[in-house]
Each structure stands twice: as C-alpha cells, then as structure tokens.
C-alpha cells in the first residue's frame, strides 16, 4: 500500500490542520515530541521516508480520542495502523514491552506446527461442552499468567467469566487450539502474522459450528468484529460478557448477593470508543446490591486511555498517563477501580508496582475486572 492509498483510505486529505487531534491526544500531553497533527502534515507533504523511520509512529495509543473529535472525520488510528504496516515491511518496529516476549509468543502461535496446552487450568468446577454452539474465547489469558510476576495475572478473569456463564445456564465450548486473536500484530504492523492467526481461528470456529462467541477481552472482541471480516469469513454473533450480563438482567433479572463496595468504572478504549459500548457495564454495576457506583470526571467518550497499546512503547510517558487515570479514580472516592479489559487491569496494576518518579504518592487503589465483582456477587458460585 502506498502513502497515497493510506491518505485516501484514512481520509487524511480532509485534514484542516486545526490541531484538535494533538490537543486531545494523551501522549502529546506528556511527550512534547509527539504530535498527530505533525504526523498528518508530513504525510500530506509526501514525507514518507521520514514517517516510516520515525519511532514516534509507534507511540500512538490508537485510543480513538482524536478520531471522535476530528471535525473532518480523519481516521487517524487507521492512518497509524496502515503506516505501521509500511514501516514494519521496512524493518521498523516500536519498542516492545517486557523484552518482546509477548510478541515472540504470538508469532510462535501463528506457526501451524505449534500445539498448545492452553486448557490445563480448567478444573471440574466449570461446566463446558464440546457440543455447544456458544464459544467462550479465552484469548491470551493463560499466557499472561505465566509471564507476569506482579499482581497483573488475568486467568482469574477467564475463570470468573466461565462461572458467570454457567450461572446464566450456558455451558460454553472452549477450543483447545485457539490462538491469539492477532490484535497486537495488526496494530504493530505485522499483517502477515495477523492474517495467519485470523485464518486459523476462523477455520476452527467454522469447523466447530459456533453460532455465538462471548469475550471477556475487548481487544479480541474488536478484532473479531471490525478486523476479521476484512480477511476471513465467519458468521457468528459476537458479544462482550458485560453485554451478556446486561441482557440477562433486562430479561430475567439476576439474583446477586450484596457486595458492600464503592466503585468507579474505567471505559477501555476498545470497548468504549472503538465499539461504542458504555452502558452495559454500568447497568451491571448498578444492579448489584450494596455496590455504590461513582463516576470519574473523564468517562465514556472522554475516558483516558490506560496508557499502552499492543505492549509497545511502554515508557515514562505512558506510565504518567496511567498514573493520571489512577489518581482520577482515587479522587472519585472509590475504593475499587473496575475495568472490563484484562490489559487495562494489567497496565494499572503494573503502574502501581513500578518504582520511579512517575509513581505518585497517593496512587494506590484496588483494581478489579467487572467479572471478578460479578462472580463474587452471584449466588451459587462453584468452588475450584
């Protein structure tokens, strides 16, 4: 794809150079070297070589904050995604977090010869069925648990999601050889690896006769809903688990045990600005007796990103964004910050165990996924 093609597809040529993208960008607030407006200006000037070899290309969080505010409807995140693909083909990459092990793992999964033992965590306490046409997509949670040595493990989110689905009368199918959805590969420019993962997962799902897929990860959900249709054929209903819960509350009501807790809710970029899902998680929180739900100042479309996208360019600036959000959550008076994205929880918890000047003195707050709270509140929670 040429620079001219990218400009046309992302509607970059409509840019008015008003600077709203840079003024709202969370990265630009902390990193003076980064400016979406300058990136677009360089593209319009035809400075492709300068763009391709600019490491700031990988600083964008693709959080969609600028895209929603752009008066010309320029799709800057799409521009970034396509430019990263060009940069990647030229050997340019961002600075991979965690020594790049997560990206290496995803590329290993894209190898068709690689077999996995990804369901060893599954115990008799959960009800699943190989005949079910409802799939729970586990994603990379089993691998995150092995890689992170701080309080940022995510397998408990998958386990509590299964408990919830069982409570709703759903015995979902789990695929023992599903692979990473490919989100991080797509957004870092490795299109070939993304395509291999998408083709593998789509083939498995078609073979299994799956009609509905439920996700606990908004990145997987967004990838299946918005990106897979461009590369693979798959005809399934897709749903985030917060939507499943909200639908059950509306239809039959759910019997919750009281949980006395003051919480606030963080809108993840993928579930919120990318997919427009704001109300279902809030509906769930309001339905739990004893839960006092308070909002932060920046919510819904205005929500601040957790600071890192695709485990790339996690630096001082991204940590400052994270700390800002944590301080905002603490300032709301909440005891617990509720997330609906495993990576958001990882990043927030990571910020609180990081040592350095970026850590504010009053940044400590409990961070929990919405499914952890719901599983705690639901009656009949099975034991492991």
- For residue range 42-72, what is the model confidence (pLDDT) as tens digits? 999 999 998 999 889 999 999 999 988 999 9
CB-based contacts of 213: which residues, under 8 Å, 6+ apart?
A: 134, 135, 136, 137, 205, 224, 236, 237, 238, 239
Question: Distance (Å, rounded) from C-alpha 66 to C-alpha 78?
Answer: 12
Question: Distance (Å, rounded) from C-alpha 24 to C-alpha 11?
Answer: 19
- For residue range 291-309, what is the model confidence (pLDDT) as tens digits? 999 999 999 999 999 988 8
The answer, as to whether pTM is greater than 0.75, is: yes
Q: Please check whether residue 124 is in contact with residue 339, taking contact to mean a CB–CB distance below 8 angstroms.
A: no
> What are the backbone dihedrals phi and psi of residue 325, each rounded to the nearest 5 degrees, phi first?
-70, -40
| 362 pLDDT higher than 70 | no
| 311 pLDDT higher than 50 | yes
Q: CA quadruple 223, 226, 229, 230: dihedral positive or negative? A: negative
Q: Tell me the three state secondary structure of residue 263.
A: strand
Half-sphere CA count of 212, side-chain side, radius 13 A: 13
Q: Please check whether residue 9 is in contact with residue 45, taking contact to mean a CB–CB distance below 8 angstroms.
A: no
- For residue range 264-301, what is the model confidence (pLDDT) as tens digits? 999 999 999 999 999 999 999 999 999 999 999 999 99
Q: How high is the pLDDT of residue 36?
A: 92
In the chain, what are the domains? 3-89 (1.10.1060.10), 97-246 (3.40.50.1860), 255-377 (3.40.50)
- For residue range 92-149, what is the model confidence (pLDDT) as tens digits? 887 767 767 888 889 888 898 888 888 888 887 899 999 999 999 999 888 887 777 6
């Amino acid at each position: 794809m040429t620079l001219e093609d990218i400009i046309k597809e992302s509607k970059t040529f409509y840019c008015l150079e008003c600077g709203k993208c840079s003024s709202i960008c969370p990265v630009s607030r902390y990193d003076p070297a980064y400016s979406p407006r300058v990136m677009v200006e360089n593209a319009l000037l035809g400075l492709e070589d300068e763009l391709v070899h600019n490491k700031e290309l990988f600083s964008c969080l693709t959080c969609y904050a600028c895209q929603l505010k752009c008066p010309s409807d320029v799709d800057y995140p799409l521009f970034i995604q396509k430019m990263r693909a060009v940069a990647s083909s030229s050997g340019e990459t961002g600075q991979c977090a965690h020594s790049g092990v997560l990206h290496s793992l995803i590329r290993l999964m894209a190898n068709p010869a690689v077999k996995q033992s990804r369901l060893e965590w599954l115990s008799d306490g959960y009800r699943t069925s190989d005949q079910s046409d409802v799939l729970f997509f586990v994603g990379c949670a089993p691998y995150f648990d092995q890689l992170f040595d701080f309080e940022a493990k995510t397998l408990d989110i998958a386990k509590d999601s299964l408990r919830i689905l069982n409570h709703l009368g759903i015995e979902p199918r789990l695929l023992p050889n599903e692979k990473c959805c490919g989100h991080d590969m797509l957004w870092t420019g490795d299109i070939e690896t993304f395509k291999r993962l998408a083709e593998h997962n789509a083939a498995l799902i078609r073979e299994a006769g799956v009609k509905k897929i439920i996700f606990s990860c908004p990145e997987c959900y967004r990838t299946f809903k918005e990106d897979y249709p461009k590369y693979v054929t798959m005809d399934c209903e897709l749903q985030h688990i917060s939507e499943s819960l909200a639908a059950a509350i509306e239809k039959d009501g759910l019997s919750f045990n009281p949980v006395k807790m003051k919480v606030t809710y963080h809108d993840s970029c993928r579930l919120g600005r990318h997919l427009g899902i704001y109300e279902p998680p809030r509906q769930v929180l309001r339905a739990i007796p004893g839960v006092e739900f308070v909002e932060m100042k920046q919510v819904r479309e205005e929500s601040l990103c957790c600071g890192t996208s695709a485990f790339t360019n996690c630096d001082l600036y991204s940590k400052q964004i994270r700390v800002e959000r944590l301080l905002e959550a603490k300032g709301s008076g909440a005891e617990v910050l509720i997330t609906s994205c495993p990576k958001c929880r990882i990043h927030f918890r990571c910020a609180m165990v990081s040592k350095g000047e970026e850590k504010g003195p009053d940044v400590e707050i409990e961070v929990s996924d919405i499914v952890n709270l719901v599983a705690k509140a639901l009656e009949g929670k099975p034991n492991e």
